């Protein structure tokens, strides 16, 4: 495998993990308790077996706690930090798209963009937008 191919795959891997962690964080925000794999699968529109496989992987990487009975606990600092970072990026991106770029904040482009925003970029976007507290959907923007 060419090196560039490997990098693309690893990047894809990370983005995929971020999507799961974000989904679990959003379910938690919506007070879903306990959070089961089926809820995550539904939210991400991914099959239940694939979701379970990924949850086991995230558990083995120490990013969350997953058990079939008790569900998913986003109780690992590293996993929470990744989830909160992606949610922050998502909500800042929604505002940036709507207010500056004049792109629909519900566009798929937001979902692409949220994974490439660094802390430095997030800080600059926040400043540019006048330190907003809420996204276009009225949800709080996490501060890390």
Tell me the closest approach of the beta carbon of residue 122 to Zn ion, in angstroms: 15
# of chain residues touching Zn ion (CB under 5 A): 3
Question: Based on CB atoms, which residue is closest to Zn ion, 63 or 92?
Answer: 92
* Contacts of 87 by beta carbon, 8 Å cutoff, 6+ apart: 22, 25, 26, 142
Helix, strand or coil for residue 71?
Answer: strand
Distance CA 79, CA 5 (A): 26
Question: Based on CB atoms, which residue is closest to Zn ion, 9 or 116?
Answer: 116
Does position 74 interact with Zn ion (CB under 5 A)? The reply is no
What residues numbered 119-138 form the site for Zn ion, per CB under 5 A? 135, 137
Start-end of H helices in 30-134: 37-44, 48-60, 77-96, 108-113, 119-128
Question: Based on CB atoms, which residue is closest to Zn ion, 41 or 96?
Answer: 96
- Tokens at residue 99, please? 């207010």
What residues numbered 80-119 form the site for Zn ion, per CB under 5 A? 94
Torsion of CA 46, 53, 30, 19, to 10 degrees: -70
Question: Based on CB atoms, which residue is closest to Zn ion, 130 or 138?
Answer: 138
Contact at 8 Å (CB) between 36 and 72? yes
The binding site for Zn ion (CB under 5 A) comprises 94, 135, 137
């Amino acid at each position: 495998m060419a090196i560039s191919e490997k990098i693309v795959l690893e990047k894809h891997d990370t983005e995929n993990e971020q999507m799961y962690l974000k989904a679990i964080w959003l379910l938690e925000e919506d007070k879903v308790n306990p959070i089961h794999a089926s809820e995550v699968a539904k939210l991400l529109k991914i099959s239940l077996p694939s979701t379970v496989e990924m949850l086991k992987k995230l558990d083995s990487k120490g990013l969350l706690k997953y058990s079939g009975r008790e569900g998913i606990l986003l109780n690992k600092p590293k996993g929470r930090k990744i989830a909160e970072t992606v949610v922050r990026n998502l909500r800042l991106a929604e505002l940036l798209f709507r207010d500056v770029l004049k792109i629909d904040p519900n566009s798929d482009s937001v979902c692409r963009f949220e994974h490439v925003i660094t802390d430095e970029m997030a800080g600059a976007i926040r400043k540019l937008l006048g330190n907003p507290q809420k996204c276009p959907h009225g949800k709080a923007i996490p501060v890390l």
